[in-house]
Amino acid sequence: PALNASFTNTINAVAICRTPYKQKFGIPRQPGLVNATGYIEFEPAFNHIDAVRGIEQYSHLWLLFCFHENLSQGWKTTVRPPRLGGNEKLGVFATRSTFRPNGIGQSVVKLHGVVQRHGKVCLKISGMDLLDGTPIIDIKPYVPFSDAITDAKGGIAQDAPILIPVKYTKLAAEKIAQYQVQEHYQGLAELISGVLSQDPRPAYKKAKDDPKLYQVALYDLDIFWHVTDNVIEVLDLKPTS
């Protein structure tokens, strides 16, 4: 059935999420897996301190957002979750697929406070699984007494993904140490380790020897890495060209 016209006409971004994740490849597949810092920058119509009055009483927030980079590709009735190695299909509503009828995602993130940034009211957050520039369509406090269900069944995603070890070449370690002196890159080593230990490769690549050179984009840096003996090695990092 058609939605009420005033409803369809009034879904606009209330804010834009700023994150270190500049491309989809490498972004954690759920929130809370990697301790990356981000900011929610309110759009002009909502850029008012009163709109977030009282929010700092909460440690976590629900973000509702739009998978804006995938909207043009539409949605599929069934999807192949990466958890199942890409071999099995599940219904779109039985998964967290990004290819959904209304393209809406939701994530619980940690709230660190309300800050002013570039003249805008912003929420400082961490743990998000969002691409930089993602439109936020609503923000709500996470309420543990109701939202945290300790005996809930997690289906195919009962436990957090298994992590893989990450090591660095001398060159990469030295460059990271140099970048981290700048405030903008604080926590860069932890971020790179956190992202890569999730092993972002597609399932079929993990099954056998994989000589490929990979790259993930974090902040304005391209991180180059490969996998040997099930260990990820960071080879180098360069400013994104």
The site for ligand SAM (CB under 6 A) is made up of: 24, 27-31, 67-70, 96, 98, 105-107, 129-131, 134
Gyration radius (Cα) of the chain, Å: 19
CB of 241 to ligand SAM, least distance (A): 22
CB of 208 to ligand SAM, least distance (A): 23
Q: Is the separation of the CB atoms in 83 and 156 below 8 Å?
A: yes
CB of 177 to ligand SAM, least distance (A): 28
Which lies closer to ligand SAM via its Cβ, residue 130 or residue 137? 130
DSSP string, 165-210: -EEE-HHHHHHHHHHHTSGGGTTHHHHHHHHHTT--S-HHHHTS--
Which lies closer to ligand SAM via its Cβ, residue 30 or residue 47? 30
Which lies closer to ligand SAM via its Cβ, residue 37 or residue 98? 98
Using alpha carbons, list the distances in angstroms from residue 194 to 17, 69, 124, 157, 228: 20, 23, 19, 19, 18
CB of 98 to ligand SAM, least distance (A): 4
Which lies closer to ligand SAM via its Cβ, residue 73 or residue 230? 73
Which lies closer to ligand SAM via its Cβ, residue 110 or residue 175? 110
CB of 28 to ligand SAM, least distance (A): 6
**Three-state SS at 234:** strand
Q: CA 37, CA 48: separation in Å to the nearest integer?
A: 22
Q: Is the separation of the CB atoms in 47 and 165 below 8 Å?
A: no
Q: CA 84, CA 227: separation in Å to the nearest integer?
A: 21
